[in-house]
Amino acid sequence: MTPLDIFLIFTAGSILILTAVLVPTLLQLKRTYKKAEETLQVLERELVPMSKKITAGAAEVELLAASCTAKLEETDEAIRAVRRAGDTLLLTSQALKDSVRPVISGVGGITAGLQMFARVLLGGKK
């Protein structure tokens, strides 16, 4: 046996061992690639409708936000109107109280005077 024969035997053995290791590895890689491809196809099929639904949901949320903003503005306007009405009512009641108080005091004075007059008049007859 010459060194070339030993080298060839060693090379052939290495190739045989390398083939024995690489073939199952390559087959496993092929299966893994197919599974990954199938998974990507499934994801693609599911992601497209899901992204459409998410887009539709986002549009709906945007519409709801606009609607809520409009309702809040209407509510703010209503609150301002109620506040103005309350202020007007307060001013009106204060003005009414200020204008009626002297009349009530005058009526009370007249009533007291009439009662006193009636006592004196009736008391004088008894």
Complete DSSP assignment for 51-85: HHHHHHHHHHHHHHHHHHHHHHHHHHHHHHHHHHH
| pTM (two decimals) | 0.45
Mean pLDDT by 10 residues, the chain (126 residues): 89 91 91 94 88 93 94 94 93 86 80 84 65
Q: What is the pLDDT of residue 104?
A: 79
pLDDT at 126: 45
How many CA atoms does the CB half-sphere of 21 hold within 13 Å? Answer: 6
